[in-house]
Each structure stands twice: as structure tokens, then as C-alpha cells.
Chains A and B, each alone.
Chain A
Amino acid sequence: MISLLIYKGILCVAVFAFSLGVAAYSTWWERKFASFLQDRVGPDRAGPFGLLQPLADGGKMFFKEEIIPNVSNRFLFILGPSLFMLTSLMTGAVIPWGPDVIIGGKTYAFQVTDINIGILYLFGVVGIGVYGIMIGGWASNNKYALLGAIRASSQMISYEVAMGISVIALIITAGGTLSLREILAQQDAGVCNFVYQPLGFLIFFVCALAETNRAPFDLPECESELVGGYHTEYSSMKLGLFLFAEYTNMFISSAIMAGFYFGGYNFPFAHEFYNAIGLQEGSWLIALIGFGAYFTKIFIFICVFMWIRWTLPRFRYDQLMNLGWKVLLPLSLLNLALTVVVEYFRGNIHF
């Protein structure tokens, strides 16, 4: 029991630190990647290849003057970014980061907790995430911040519908399980879910862009219209938390997409590969290789997120709503209907 607690504790801290570390280096990589797309060099002064840039940015954020507007609600003003950061870090708890490790006959999962409603948990936490933005923008007592917050909440609510329905289709294909562990384990034996759900993946991907407030759906922080959007009044590390949580969200949603649709820690011919180099099931090396495969997929997704941001212009707000309600929602319903019919004839659905 104690050993389990210690093990889970270590895993918690590891996932927490890893999410934060990846988010920090995403900010660096975003600037680097943008510069590559624009034939520039990007940050290269702090350390080799500018690798210390996130530290410099973080240090700057900490030492900036903290301004809390007089007319704001102080408690909610501080609660906003804290909540946003908290929820974005909480989602990492249910993701299985690698295959199980067996040491001395005991199985250690590479996952903080395997709850059997993992997907519901994910959606619940992501749903709370919008409260951080809403409370922050509202408590600022600033028109622009409020407009940004309203945009963020209505955008997230609209896109969560299509996202949820595309995930229902995925759950049906995966045999009705809501546990992330099982969804990933299933793809170990067969092919990855993307083969069954290409349209579902596309819808999920577009919705993930909207949920993380990334371009071309970054209307909540639309500089050209709303000064800074929901974080107009924020300064110092509270602003840092908002910006930072966006990258954490991006990392987590990349992890979810890689896990749901591209097999997570599995890769083609994984077992043949492990057998060829003589690794036993449950070895920690397999877990490490599996985690490497997962991280590679996540990294590719993060790159695609950035690639899209530095290519596409921002949507207009009515276009955003049209896309969400008139295109993605019917498409996801169609996808769901098709999935149900196909799975019924394959005999996977019983009434």
C-alpha cells in the first residue's frame, strides 16, 4: 500500500513536471518553428540555439510588476488563471503514457490513475477549463476582457458538442469503453483508430484547435479587435499562467489525439520489434520505447498545431459559429450514424 502511494506520488510529480517542461519548451519551439517557416533564425541568444529562452521568459514574468486593477474583483481575478492552469494540468492524470512495467511479479501502470470513465473525466475537466478564462475576463471589469471571455466560452461550448459526438463514434468503434487505458491497449492488437474514424479525427482535430484557443480559432485573444482579449488586464506571472496553460492544453490535446486516434505508445510491428531485440513483455525498456513513440507522435501534433497557426489567418466570429454549428455538428452526427450502422453489421452492437 505504502509502496503504491510512493509510486503514484512519483508518477504524479513526474507527469506534472513533464507537462510543465513540455509547455515551457513549446513556447521556445513555437518561436523557433515560426522563424523557420518565415526564413528567420528565431531566439538564439540565450544558451545554445536559444535553449535557455524559456527560463529567461519565465524569470522575466516573475519579476514584472504585478498589477491588479482597483475595479476588479480581487479574489476572482486571482482565481481565473489559477483555475485555468490547474485544469490544464489535471487532464494529464488519466493518460497512459506507456506500456505497463512488471517488476517482481507486480504490474506498474505508466498512468497516474485508470478510472473507467476516463473520457468523461477528460471532458469534465476541459469543460471546467473555460471557467478560468470566463472568471478571469469577467473579474477584470474591462470591456475587452469581458468580450474575450464571452467569445471563449461560447466558442468552447459550441465546439465541445461536435467534439463530444465525434468521440462517441470513437467509443463505439472501440467497443464501448470509456477507459483510456483500454482504448490504447486495443490499438495494440489491431490497427489504430484513425483507420476506422478518419472523419471523426478531422472533426476532433478542428475542435481541439478551437478548444485550445489556437489559431485560426484564437478569437478570444484577438489582438486586432480586443487588445489582448480575456487577459488584457493581466500582468506578471498571472499573464504567464494564462499563456503557459495554453501550451499545456496544446500538449495535452496532442496527447489525447495521438492516444485516441494514433495508438499512443503503440507503433506498427511493435511486438515484432521487441522480440527481435530480445525484450520481454513488461520490461522497463519497452515502457521507455513506448513512451518515446508516444512522445514522437505528440511532438508531430504540436508541430502541426504550430504549422497551422503560422499559415492560416484568423476566422471571423460568424464564420467560426457557422463552422461549428452548421458544418462540424452535422458532419459529426453523420459520422456517428455511419459508425453505428457499420458497427451494427459487424456485430459489435447489440440491442
Chain B
Amino acid sequence: MALQLTNRSKVVSNKEQSVSEKLYLPGIIKGMSITLSHLFKRRATVKYPDEQRPRAEVYRGQHVLKRDDNGAERCTACGLCAVACPAEAITMESAERKKGEENLYREEKYAKTYEINMLRCIFCGLCEEACPKEAIFLTDRIVDTEFERDDFVYGKDKLVEKTDKRIDVSKRQTLEVAAFKKLPGLKHNTMWDGKKQIKDKH
């Protein structure tokens, strides 16, 4: 006998139909009662824009570029996220911070432009893992639909969080995640711990 995946399968037989089978009526009544029973079952539909299925707190949706507590951008345009990205969705250009821009950018080097192509992105979260500055996070927001392909290339205007509308990423940035990032195997993460460089054990 062939491999059996479920115990619901039936062996095909070519035997003559019995009288009740030839009459069709018992079969029809059986089928009709099955459909009738579904009349009283719960609807499976979720009316999407009106109601949404609950998402996991660590859902990987649209990215955010975080600011620090003073409102300065955390990103230093190191490019590790772009290197880590398996879909090659991230591009950026860096620039040097001028005097007087300390309240805008936390690091001396910052991202002049930062673009994520949302059509290429596979929402794997490797950019987040690669980031040494805790700047990029995936959130539980869903990327909007657009009519033009170009509109899916999100620039800094859409990615950087607004100072008056902070986005909570505490569910993704847990202590466990922080500890995980300090594991020796994750070389790019262990290079900097605050200001002190840690020697890689490998």
C-alpha cells in the first residue's frame, strides 16, 4: 500500500451502484444537510480594513529609523544594514555632521539619504539585527498600498520617526535581544559596546 498521509482517504472501487445510490436522493439529502448546517456556523471572514486580525507584538512590518531621547537621529550610515539585507533593498548616502547639527544627528557621520524599497524588502529583520546603533527597527505597522512602483521606495521622510509621534519598539528591543546582540558570534554587533572596543574572540 502506498504512503498514507491521512486516515480519511478512500480506496477507489468500481463496484455497481446500489439502489439507494442510483436513486441519488439519499446522497442529495445528505449533501443538502451538510450545506444547511453551514448556514448556522460562524463566519470566517475578517472585514479587513474595518477589523484587523491581532498581530504578534514582535510583528515585522514597516521599518522605522529611531531618534534618541533628545530627538537626534541614531543612524550613522555605516551601511551594515545594507550589507546584511538579503534582498538588497536598502541604499544610503552618508554625510558629515556640521557644527551646530548635534541636536539633529547623534553621530559625527549621518545618513543624508536612506531608502528602502518596500517591494524588494522581505521583512526578515536582518537589518535590525545588523544595526550597531539601534537605529533601525521593524514595527507592527503595515506598508501602505500604492498605485506607482516608485512610491514604494521609502525615503527618510517616511522612515525616520517624528519627534512628536514616537513609535514604540520596546517589544522588539527587549533585554533578550540586547543580550543576543552581544553574543561573540555576532561580530559586527560585538565590535562596539558603548565607546569601548571589545576584542573578538575568534
Which residues of A come within 8 Å of B, CB atoms? 36-41, 44, 307-308, 310-312
Distance in angstroms between the alpha carbons of A40 and B41 in the assembled complex: 10
18 A–B contact pairs at CB < 8 A?
A36-B38, A36-B39, A37-B36, A37-B39, A38-B38, A39-B38, A39-B41, A39-B44, A39-B45, A41-B43, A41-B45, A307-B35, A307-B36, A311-B28, A311-B32, A311-B34, A312-B28, A312-B31
Asked whether B53 is an interface residue with its Cβ less than 8 Å from the other chain, the reply is: no
Q: Is chain A's binding surface mostly helix, strand, loop or mixed? A: loop
Encode B16-36 as 1/0 by CB contact (under 8 A) with A. Answer: 000000000000100110111
Q: Which 7 A-B pairs give the minimum distances between C-beta atoms?
A: A311-B35, A41-B45, A37-B35, A39-B44, A311-B31, A311-B32, A37-B38
Give me 7 other A-B pairs in contact (C-beta within 8 A), A39-B41, A39-B43, A311-B35 excluded.
A37-B36, A39-B44, A40-B44, A40-B45, A41-B45, A307-B32, A308-B32
Chain B's closest residue to A216 (CB) is B28
A residues in contact with B47, CB < 8 Å = 41, 44
B40 to chain A: closest residue by CB: A36
B35 touches A310 (CB 8 A): yes
- Chain A residues closer than 8 Å to B32, beta-carbon distance: 307-308, 311
Distance A36 CA – B45 CA, assembled complex (angstroms): 11
Q: In the complex, what residue of chain A is closest to B41 when comparing beta carbons?
A: A39
| Complex partner residue of B42 from A37, A39, A307, CB under 8 angstroms | A39
Tell me the complex Cα distance, A307–B44, Å: 20
Please indicate the chain A residues that have their CB under 8 angstroms from the CB of B42 in the complex: 39
Shortest beta-carbon distance from B27 to chain A in Å? 9
> Which residues of chain B have C-beta atoms less than 8 A from A38's C-beta?
38
Chain A residues whose C-beta falls within 8 Å of the C-beta of B36 in the assembled complex: 37, 307
Nearest chain A CB to B160's CB is how many angstroms away? 36
The complex places the Cα of A136 from the Cα of B81 at a distance, in Å, of 64
Per the bound structure, the CA–CA distance linking A307 and B29 in Å amounts to: 11
CA distance A308 to B33 in the complex (A): 11
Asked whether B31 lies within 8 Å of A40 as measured between CB atoms, the reply is: no
Cβ contacts under 8 Å, B43 to chain A: 39-41
| Residues in B whose Cβ lies below 8 Å from that of A39 | 38, 41-45
A40 to B46, CA, bound (A): 9
Q: Which residues of A contact B35 (CB under 8 A)?
A: 37, 307, 310-311
Q: How far is the CA of A110 from the CA of B32 in the complex (A)?
A: 36
CB proximity of B35 to chain A, nearest CB, Å: 4
Write the nearest CB–CB distance from B113 to chain A, whole angstroms.
41
Identify the closest chain B residue to A313 (Cβ).
Answer: B31
Residues of B within 8 A of A310 (CB): 35
Q: Considering only CB atoms, which chain B residue lies closest to A40 in the complex? A: B45
- Return the chain B residue nearest A38 by Cβ: B38
A323 to chain B, nearest CB (A): 9
On chain B, the residues within 8 Å of A308 by CB distance are 32
> In the complex, what residue of chain A is closest to B25 when comparing beta carbons?
A202
Which A residues lie within 8 Å of B39 (CB)?
36-37
Residues of B within 8 A of A307 (CB): 32, 35-36
CB distance from A152 to the nearest CB of B (A): 23
Cα distance, A310 to B35, chains bound together (Å): 8
Contact with A along B132-157 (1 / 0, CB 8 A): 00000000000000000000000000
* Complex: A161 Cα to B39 Cα, angstroms: 35
Interface centre among B35, B36, B44 (most CB of A within 10 A): B35
A36 contact set on B, CB distance < 8 A? 38-39
Interface string of B43-67 (1 = CB under 8 A from A): 1110100000000000000000000
- Chain B residues contacting A44 (CB-CB under 8 Å) are 47
CA distance A41 to B28 in the complex (A): 25
Nearest A residue to B31, CB-CB: A311
In the assembled complex, the Cα of A151 lies from the Cα of B41 at a distance in Å of 38
How far is A41 from B38 in the complex, measured between Cα atoms in Å?
12
Provide the residues of chain A in CB contact with B44, threshold 8 Å: 39-40
Q: When chains A and B are docked, how far (Å) is the Cα of A257 from the Cα of B68?
A: 76
The complex places the Cα of A44 from the Cα of B41 at a distance, in Å, of: 18
With both beta carbons as reference points, the residue of chain A lying nearest to B39 in the complex is identified as A36
